[in-house]
């Protein structure tokens, strides 16, 4: 109800709503006050966010602390984590931090049934130095054996203080390369042990004088190795290639990996995009899906490009480390005469994936000896008629 001011007949006031009257007469002051309060809250919020970011920026980046290439971000950490067979499950909601897991120093509850198991080795090995000195001096097998008392028979090594992330088989196709083999063994054992790998070296030797079949020897190495251990990862490795950088991790991931990216004889450049020769890493699952290597390449050349075709048509892609990490020295040797039939065989590579490979492998194992530095397998590959 409105009343008329007797002193000013034309002026009225709201007798029933004094609060509304107060708001009307002080509207400008209220608006100004609300604006001031809003600006103050916004300022305080910005200060809090800025402080949080500063604290986060001061925290060491675990993924690149020791290896600025191999784990450039957390997704590459998880890539190898997912492909590993860890003895522990990670719950990021409990007190187990990523840093503790990587260092292998996390505390396990004494009541946990897994407390007696060794800690898993860190995904980034702690003692990597980068470029390594190549050991190329002449040395006998007896001298090499005396240098490695830590090896089990067959060239089998386990890290002494932790459980390796993966169990790795290194398969070497071989014939008449004794000096290369000695130099390779001299370098590869300390190289893999710095990476805290559990590994076995397999030297698969082709018997006889028929044309060398590198790919078929790789298939034999896979089959024979799987008879002994349930390997997670296979490194298919030429005997004349020596890795130059210990950050070139010999381990498998979710995609096939070409390891010998930069070789000294090729001026440390990748010859072409789909190359998959020299040294490569494939998991057991990947090998079975692509049906291994083709068995049809007798003589030099073509088998690696065939495998690259299998990888592509099986839904995988080739991955690589950066060239400044995946560097190799090639030991000197006479070049092989190229196989003149390789292009014809390669042309139909994608049509033979399901019928030519592990499932069609035919060979005779003539001998198997567990030597100190490696497992030696002598085979007859039964050349085609």
H or E element that contains 306: helix 303-313
The pLDDT tens digits of the residues spanning 1-45 come to 444 444 444 544 445 566 666 666 777 777 777 777 777 776 665
Helix (H, G, I), strand (E, B) or coil at 133: coil
Question: What is the Cα–Cα distance from 6 to 95, expressed in whole angstroms?
Answer: 78
What is the predicted pLDDT for the residue at 340? 85
Helix (H, G, I), strand (E, B) or coil at 28: helix
Question: What is the Cα–Cα distance from 171 to 173, expressed in whole angstroms?
Answer: 7
Rounded to the nearest 10 degrees, the angle between the axes of helix 214-228 and helix 303-313 is 60
Dihedral of CA atoms 75, 80, 85, 88 in degrees, nearest 10, equals -50
Q: Which of 64, 84, 83 is nearest to 73 (CA)?
A: 64
pTM of the prediction?
A: 0.72
What is the predicted pLDDT for the residue at 249? 97
Cα distances from 318 to residues 105, 156, 168, 251, 267, in angstroms, run 34, 28, 19, 14, 21
Pairing verdict, β 262-263 and 319-320: unpaired
Would you report the helix, strand and coil content of the chain in percent, each value rounded to 5?
35, 20, 50
Q: Which two tokens stand for residue 148?
A: 């490695």
Rounded to the nearest 10 degrees, the angle between the axes of helix 27-58 and helix 18-25 is 70
Question: What is the Cα–Cα distance from 275 to 34, expressed in whole angstroms?
Answer: 67
Spatial neighbors of 249 by CB under 8 A, at least 6 apart, are 70, 125, 195, 321
What is the predicted pLDDT for the residue at 169? 98
Q: Give residue limits of the domains in the chain.
A: 2-58, 66-124, 141-380
Cα distances from 155 to residues 181, 203, 301, in angstroms, run 13, 10, 29
What is the predicted pLDDT for the residue at 21? 64
Q: Which of 130, 172, 126, 136 is nearest to 321 (CA)?
A: 130
Top-tier CATH class for 141-380: alpha beta
What is the predicted pLDDT for the residue at 269? 94
Q: Which of 4, 80, 60, 44 is nearest to 321 (CA)?
A: 80
Q: Which two tokens stand for residue 211?
A: 């044309």
191 phi/psi in degrees, rounded to 5: -60, -50
* Four-residue CA torsion sign, 320, 237, 252, 342: positive
pLDDT lower than 50: segments of the chain: 1-9, 11-14, 48-114
Helix (H, G, I), strand (E, B) or coil at 336: coil
2 phi/psi in degrees, rounded to 5: -100, 140
Question: What is the Cα–Cα distance from 300 to 323, expressed in whole angstroms?
Answer: 25
Report which DSSP code applies to 315: T
In sequence order, what E strands does the chain have? 2-4, 12-14, 156-157, 167-174, 198-206, 233-237, 241-243, 257-258, 262-263, 279-283, 319-320, 327-330, 364-370, 375-380
In sequence order, what E strands does 114-210 have? 156-157, 167-174, 198-206
- Chain Cα centroid distance, residue 163: 17
Question: What is the Cα–Cα distance from 177 to 19, expressed in whole angstroms?
Answer: 101
How many Cβ atoms sit within 10 Å of the Cβ of residue 227?
8
């Amino acid at each position: 109800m409105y009343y008329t001011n007797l002193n000013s007949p034309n002026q009225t006031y709201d007798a029933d709503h004094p609060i509304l009257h107060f708001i009307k007469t002080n509207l400008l002051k209220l608006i100004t006050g609300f604006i001031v309060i809003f600006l103050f809250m916004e300022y305080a919020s910005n200060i809090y966010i800025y402080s949080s970011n500063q604290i986060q920026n001061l925290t060491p980046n675990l993924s690149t602390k020791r290896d600025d290439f191999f784990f450039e971000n957390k997704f590459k950490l998880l890539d190898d984590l997912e492909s590993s067979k860890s003895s522990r499950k990670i719950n990021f909601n409990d007190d187990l931090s990523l840093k503790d897991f990587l260092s292998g120093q996390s505390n396990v509850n004494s009541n946990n049934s897994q407390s007696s198991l060794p800690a898993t080795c860190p995904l980034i090995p702690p003692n990597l130095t980068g470029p390594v000195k190549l050991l190329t001096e002449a040395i006998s097998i007896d001298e090499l054996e005396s240098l490695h008392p830590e090896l089990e028979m067959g060239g089998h090594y386990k890290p002494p203080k932790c459980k390796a992330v993966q169990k790795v088989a290194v398969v070497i196709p071989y014939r008449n390369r004794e000096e290369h083999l000695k130099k390779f063994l001299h370098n590869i054992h300390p190289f893999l042990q710095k990476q805290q790998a559990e590994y076995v070296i397999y030297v698969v030797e082709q018997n006889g004088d028929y044309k060398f079949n590198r790919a078929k020897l790789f298939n034999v190495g896979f089959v024979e190795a799987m008879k002994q251990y349930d390997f997670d990862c296979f490194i298919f490795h030429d005997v004349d290639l020596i890795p130059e950088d210990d950050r070139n991790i010999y381990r498998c991931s979710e995609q096939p990996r070409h390891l010998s990216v930069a070789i000294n004889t090729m001026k440390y450049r990748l010859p072409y995009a789909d190359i998959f020769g020299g040294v490569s890493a494939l998991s057991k699952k990947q090998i079975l899906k692509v049906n291994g290597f083709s068995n049809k390449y007798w003589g030099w050349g073509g088998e690696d490009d065939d495998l690259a075709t299998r990888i592509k048509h099986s839904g995988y892609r080739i991955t690589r480390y950066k060239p400044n990490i995946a560097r190799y020295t090639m030991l000197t040797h006479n070049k092989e005469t190229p196989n003149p039939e390789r292009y014809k065989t390669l042309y139909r590579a994608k049509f033979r994936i399901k019928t030519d490979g592990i499932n069609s492998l035919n060979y005779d194992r003539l001998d198997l000896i567990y030597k100190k530095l490696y497992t030696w397998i002598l085979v007859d590959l039964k050349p085609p008629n």
